[in-house]
Structure 1
Amino acid sequence: MAESDVAFPMEQSKELKRKKRMKCLAYVAAFVIFQTAIILVFALTVMRIKNPKFRIRSVLVDDLTFNNSSPSFNMKFIAQVTVKNTNFGHYKFENSTVTFAYKGSQVGEALVTKGRARARARSTKKMNVTMDLNSNGVANDSDLGSDLNSGFLTLTSQSILNGKVHLMKVIKKKKSVEMNCTMTVNLAQKLVRDIKCAFDWVDATIDPSVISQADCTLQFRFFLVPQESIIRHPVFVSHRDEHIHDLPIFIKSFRLCSP
């Protein structure tokens, strides 16, 4: 009787110790899971470095003259250029040149100087640039005369901005972003309207005639579209598909997306 009385408290003590160990392990496991979740969220948000967005936000026509009989124009623009940085670190960029063109012929350019070339974390940097545009470089056999008679002139602007995203003063990641914008100049009202920019997304379709039967290489024809019109869904192409040319796709940094 005495031995059983002694054994019972010992068993209770072992059971209590076991429960304490299990509780301790549960706390440790919960802490590890919590820390892992925090690190994962941090890695997917703060540490994820994305491309900034570089575009022309608005254009003020400071001066405009044109001639219909001898097709030509001269303009002076004051454009607001923006760099939108959605990263948690600032984006420091270098000098860049914005080139304006009329149907492929350069008509002017503007320099975006680095000066205070720094877009703060999760902010948009706005800069005003002044440029002179003229039709001296436009071919004589172009459609300039008919466009001037219509009262509307379509221009494009292109540029590449190179820089680095700085995170926590330790991590530096090179990031470049391309500007591709189109705009319409209302000659009568001396206004620039319908500014549309595509950042780094392009609309691409596959031409079946250029699919090589030997190495299955694909060539693409690209068309710029506004980024906001794109709906992204992943498409994976692992082998040659005879019907793949029926599929319109979008391509960005070698990743394929269906509309």
Structure 2
Amino acid sequence: MSSPPPSPGSAMAAKEQVRPLASHRYLHVDVENDGFSVEVKKTRHRHYHGKCIKFCGCCTAVLLVVAVAIIVLASTVFHVKDPTIKMNTIRIEGLSFLSTGNLNPGVNLTLVSDLSVKNPNAASFKFNDAAETSLLYGGKVVGEAKIPAGNARARRTLQLNVTVDVMVEKLLEVPRLKSDLVTGELPVAIYTTIHGKVKVLRIVKKSATLKMNCSMSFNILRQDIENLDCLNSL
């Protein structure tokens, strides 16, 4: 026998039982999906925030390295110091003519000096041919010599030999010459000037003028130079 068809009331009851289950499942899925979306947004935000922190940290590190490098270069390589000049030795040839008093314009009286230019910089110090040395006696220039152009290399000392030919005719014009010949000493001065430049990577350029003033005495009896005293100025 076939079973009787379900009544409308039982069918409605079955539908009511099924609908809450479907509705519950739909709400459950929506809640889970909403939670997943929030979690994905949080993960993306954290990832982006982490990238920003790393980028800012790298930029800061690079800026610090550049700043330290600039400070180091400014205090070492790009810090230009003034070169110095020094009188090492000096001698005079022809003092025997002064001891005999046999002075005339044809007498050969020569002053030979050994100078050194010390360059403390990380770049060369180059000077032009305007460098010169002058010999003064009684306030008058009695001898001059040009110093050829040169180049003192980085952190090196350049040796210079300078020969000054004394102009005896100028020497004879000094009024105090006779009295000094009697005492046996001629107080003289030698003045040296060197103009040059220091260039660091063609970025930093500094001009420098080295000046040295030396005082001394020609001892006629001993045929020597005494009381040598030199001062540097810039």
- Class of the TM-score when normalised by the shorter of the 2 chains: 0.5 to 0.7
CA distance in 1, matches of 2:226, 2:144: 16
The answer on whether the counterparts of 2:191 and 2:214 sit within 8 Å (CA) in structure 1 is: no
1:180 positional shift: 2.9
Q: How many residues align?
A: 196
Residue 88 of structure 1 aligns to a residue whose secondary structure is: coil
- Which amino acid is 1:26 matched to? G
Matches within 5 A, 1:127-142: 127-133=160-166, 136-138=169-171, 139-142=173-176
The correspondence for 1:125, drawn from 147, 152, 158, is: 158
Partner of 2:214: 182
Give the structure 1 partner of residue 24 of structure 2. Answer: none
Q: 1:156 corresponds to which residue?
A: 189
Q: How high is the sequence identity, in percent, across the aligned residues?
A: 23
CA distance in 1, matches of 2:39, 2:60: 32
Distance 2:174 2:197 in 1: 43
Which structure 2 residue ranges, 5 or more long, are not aligned?
Answer: 1-30
- Greater helix proportion: 2
Letter in 2 for 1:122: R
Could you say which structure has the higher strand fraction? 1
Give the residue type in structure 2 aligned to 1:104: G
Give the direction of change, closer, same or farther, for the CA distance of 1:184–1:15 in structure 2 (3 Å limit). same
Contact 1:76 1:132 in 2 (8 A): yes
For residues 127 and 140 of structure 1, what CA distance do their matches in structure 2 show? 30
Whole-angstrom distance in 2 between the partners of 1:110 and 1:192: 22
- Report if aligned partners of 1:56, 1:197 keep a CA contact under 8 Å in 2: no
Question: CA 1:16–1:148 in structure 2 vs 1: closer, same or farther (change >3 Å)?
Answer: farther
Say which of 113, 120, 125 aligns to 1:91.
125
Task: Give the drift of 1:172.
Answer: 8.3
What CA distance in whole angstroms lies between the structure 2 residues aligned with 1:147 and 1:41? 57
* Contact kept? 1:158, 1:178, Cα under 8 Å: no
The aligned runs of 1:206-217 (5 Å cut-off) are none
Instruction: State the alpha-carbon separation in 2 of the partners of residues 172 and 34 from structure 1.
Output: 22
In structure 1, C-alpha distance between the alignment counterparts of 2:194 and 2:147, rounded to whole Å? 9
C-alpha contact 1:162 1:177 (8 A) present in aligned 2: yes
Counterparts of 2:183 and 2:189, CA distance in 1: 18
Q: Partner residue of 1:25?
A: 56
1:109 is matched with: 144
Number of the residue aligned with 1:227: none
Structure 1 residue 128, shift from structure 2 partner: 1.2
| Bigger radius of gyration among the two | 2
Distance in 1 (CA, whole Å) between partners of 2:148 and 2:217 is: 26
Offset of residue 56 of structure 1: 2.9
Q: How does 1:194-205 map to 2 (within 5 A)?
A: 194-200=228-234
Structure 1 range deviating more: 66-75 or 15-24: 66-75
**By how many angstroms is 1:125 displaced?**
0.8
Q: Deviations over 1:126-176 (max 9, x none)?
A: 01122233664255543x4555555544322223323343443x4584734
Partners of 1:163 and 1:68 lie apart in 2 by 43
Query: The residue matched to 1:28 in structure 2 has which SS?
Result: helix
